[in-house]
Structure 1
């Protein structure tokens, strides 16, 4: 059989042949590389901002759009892209997304003006949003039941590393390429990897099964969800540049749009396959798991935002050193994610609760070692506490994702994963807005004391993570009263 045929044995989860098994792991490897590349671009550009400013003469508003525009369009297309992959084939969506991501990365690296770079980043973010739900849907499609733990563990490690290692890799590329043009290599590095991913993705990923029904893609649902997500995210990602208090009126307007989306989907489901099946929220694993993910990303993503500001602007460390300071978290997250994926089926949601507790212990240790201001090298002082927090994070992201999607039918895997990741993007934006507001207000109120501002911001981030812990404990309590199955075949 040719590699491109949709009916090859590798398309069937749990294939017993060595060649089939090897092929599905190879397909997963391509997906993980693509996920790493697209998630890395959420954070890697942060350390390139000073170089971009000098090279292109960007205004503060331009820089904000370069940073936040990616996250905005990323979150905008996740659910429609996931549904498209479910309905029309994940390989088609994956290859389209990676090809577009590679092209826009090259265009971003060639930018000659801030407007050029902003436009490239907006389309690049949308391309990343097309790719990511296909990776999660691929795991649901190629693996079944308990065997999903290991691939989800690898995906969790990929998420954790890409989130935390971005500043380090960005610092290395800028140092290698020079202050004037090093920022361009932050984008160019995606091009060769993307080309290989396109070729291997088309060869290895399963195509659309022969004879599969073709569903309409619910354009009204796409519009309502898109409007709701944009109205929610826009005031959050533009919080520093958009000074009018009226921006916060967009949030209730966004909630109204999302309520309209829910009503429309409920009606549409009576006649056609909806963009997103609201019935998934009837599964406690999906409903509470999505809540935990949204809240946790609101806490832990914000930590890197304020920590980078504290190190680079407050204490004068270089971008490279700041990236190295976050590396212990990335290493801990990678190790624990792989482990968490292997043992999640044995321990279930209590493993997530333990991970959240470990994260809180690590963050508490950071507060302790920096009390009264830094007495020595901050990257050295915080290395062990951040390693502990990273270990905890690895026991949160991977097991929670595995449990959240465990009962989602394969035919809805892309849409379910897209909604889960949309919640993560909204949570991250809201968390950065809230924690950043506390950070800057504390900085102003404490007479420019960066250590005090960082401690207050860190305490708020920890408080947000406590809310995720409460949700996990509720799920544990309810599961003991009314056990439910953990897998869906």
Structure 2
């Protein structure tokens, strides 16, 4: 007589699914694509607005000072928010901070598009800057949290490629919108394009981003926030306002910024010795990979960021290019960056800082080739002549930025990833502003000799700053034992 098996009882699971054996979130790649979509939106907003500035001036009758603040207000708010936002994400959850930043960025973008005057637009741009500063550390922090080893390098490579694509698409898309909708209203859609992206990304982020590990809720070190914020403000303001703020009094703020930075470092040490959690764990800089990568990244950003500024000025003001044509002329650099970032991300743990050194060599060669092309051509042929050397420089840039981020953050504990990323990017923002100030000063000093002469002087200055980053990379390689030169 056969016995009949008892019917199986369905197992009802409560709570989250068990973690896989490797401890990695099985939805990490889907979560990454949400982060990349939002990163694309925030970086698109930077590059797309540059070509819209003449149309904003026409559409809103904006003053020169107001137009400057449309750009500089965003940079200031972004730079001031990065480190506190990273700390918020580390302590209270990166998913929560990410969603808050995404909602604010989308709303601020709509307000920018609806602006009735320059005051309204500047205030909305400040909101966008705060939101971007809230989002950016969470994206890098989530990559640190979700990925390990070679996967982390691939993820950072995809982030670098996304930034390159956004940088390439931005000027072209902005030029197309303005050309299609006119200078009066086309600039508004430069901001409105963020609305559908934000509406798509928010529910996906709620569903896919991990609720994650939260650090101890130890407070936000308000004194540290004020001191660091004051230092960043005092350092950035004279740099980004150097053309519109006449006189030499503005440079006194650099001394104030240095004093506030010293006070911040002293406060953070005392705060930590008292057994409390400082805004920035200064012990992070004891990691050689972090301190070297932060220095190299800061110098590199000072060199390459200014290229877009002076090239756009040369093409539009000096050669009469349209916004669309100028955007297309800059595209080869961004395309090279996007293409090489993915490859570099897959191979960063194999070649390490040797790859970054090779990338810096390519950037120097590409910028030197751009200088030569601009010296031998003029008029409408400049865009074509500079395409190949700019592409080479872009390929080099893609093998510098993402791999440097991967190796710089590799030894940082995941619990501090957001704050460490905030500090890293704050340094890059300040150095970018300093680089633009230096290169544009050289550029405008030579405008009297002609736009071509001004551009050649500016691009050589940019190349010299990148060459300094190359010297730092070479010195680091030479001091390492031969067997460890691929390490971070």
Structure 2-normalised TM-score? Answer: 0.93
Q: Partner of 1:226 in structure 2?
A: 229
CA contact (8 A) 1:221 1:261 kept: yes
- Post-superposition shift, 1:162? 2.7
Q: Partner of 2:218 in structure 1?
A: 215
**CA separation of 1:485 and 1:470: change in aligned 2, threshold 3 A:** closer
**CA separation of 1:152 and 1:91: change in aligned 2, threshold 3 A:** same
- Distance in 1 (alpha carbons) for counterparts of 2:21 and 2:383: 45
- Post-superposition shift, 1:172? 1.6
Gaps of 5+ in 2: 1-10
CA contact (8 A) 1:13 1:142 kept: no
Query: Are 1:265 and 2:301 matched, yes or no?
Result: no
1:15-50 Cα offsets, whole Å, 9 max, x none, are 56xxx43x1111111111111211222222111111
- Distance in 1 (alpha carbons) for counterparts of 2:72 and 2:167: 15
- Distance in 2 (alpha carbons) for counterparts of 1:43 and 1:238: 19
**Which is greater in Rg?**
2
- Post-superposition shift, 1:169? 2.0
1:140-165 Cα offsets, whole Å, 9 max, x none, are 00011232110010111122333344
CA contact (8 A) 1:14 1:142 kept: no
Query: Are 1:241 and 2:244 matched, yes or no?
Result: yes
Pick from 131, 135, 139: which aligns with 1:135?
Answer: 139
**CA separation of 1:145 and 1:381: change in aligned 2, threshold 3 A:** same
CA contact (8 A) 1:442 1:456 kept: yes
- Distance in 1 (alpha carbons) for counterparts of 2:375 and 2:435: 23
CA RMSD of aligned residues (A): 2.0
- Distance in 2 (alpha carbons) for counterparts of 1:238 and 1:422: 18
1:319-345 Cα offsets, whole Å, 9 max, x none, are 001111111111111111001101110
Q: Partner of 1:296 in structure 2?
A: 300
CA contact (8 A) 1:436 1:457 kept: yes
- Distance in 1 (alpha carbons) for counterparts of 2:297 and 2:177: 31
Q: Partner of 2:335 in structure 1?
A: 331
- Distance in 1 (alpha carbons) for counterparts of 2:22 and 2:99: 24
> Is 374-383 or 313-322 further displaced after alignment?
374-383
> Is 169-178 or 144-153 further displaced after alignment?
169-178
Query: Are 1:471 and 2:476 matched, yes or no?
Result: no
- Distance in 1 (alpha carbons) for counterparts of 2:136 and 2:213: 20
Query: Are 1:462 and 2:466 matched, yes or no?
Result: no
Partner SS, residue 408 of structure 1: coil
Query: Are 1:255 and 2:258 matched, yes or no?
Result: yes
Q: Partner of 1:101 in structure 2?
A: 105
- Distance in 2 (alpha carbons) for counterparts of 1:274 and 1:27: 30
Gaps of 5+ in 1: none
CA contact (8 A) 1:164 1:304 kept: no
- Distance in 2 (alpha carbons) for counterparts of 1:14 and 1:182: 50
> Is 260-269 or 315-324 further displaced after alignment?
260-269
**CA separation of 1:8 and 1:294: change in aligned 2, threshold 3 A:** farther
Q: Partner of 1:409 in structure 2?
A: 413
**CA separation of 1:213 and 1:329: change in aligned 2, threshold 3 A:** same
- Distance in 2 (alpha carbons) for counterparts of 1:81 and 1:44: 25
Q: Partner of 1:145 in structure 2?
A: 149
- Distance in 2 (alpha carbons) for counterparts of 1:76 and 1:411: 21
- Distance in 2 (alpha carbons) for counterparts of 1:179 and 1:121: 19
- Distance in 2 (alpha carbons) for counterparts of 1:13 and 1:252: 53
- Distance in 2 (alpha carbons) for counterparts of 1:200 and 1:381: 43
- Post-superposition shift, 1:370? 1.9
Structure 1-normalised TM-score? Answer: 0.93
1:427-474 Cα offsets, whole Å, 9 max, x none, are 111111111111111112x1xx11110000000000110111111112
- Post-superposition shift, 1:202? 1.3
- Post-superposition shift, 1:260? 0.9
1:371-410 Cα offsets, whole Å, 9 max, x none, are 1542751111111111111110100001111110011100
1:44-63 to 2 correspondences below 5 Å = 44-63=48-67
Query: Are 1:66 and 2:67 matched, yes or no?
Result: no
- Post-superposition shift, 1:482? 9.8
- Distance in 2 (alpha carbons) for counterparts of 1:155 and 1:93: 19
1:209-262 Cα offsets, whole Å, 9 max, x none, are 38x532211111111110000000000111111102110010111011111111
> Is 32-41 or 310-319 further displaced after alignment?
32-41
Partner SS, residue 269 of structure 1: helix
- Distance in 2 (alpha carbons) for counterparts of 1:284 and 1:476: 13
CA contact (8 A) 2:357 2:473 kept: yes
**CA separation of 1:442 and 1:485: change in aligned 2, threshold 3 A:** closer
Q: Partner of 1:452 in structure 2?
A: 453
- Distance in 1 (alpha carbons) for counterparts of 2:322 and 2:153: 38
**CA separation of 1:325 and 1:154: change in aligned 2, threshold 3 A:** same
Alignment length, in residue pairs? 475
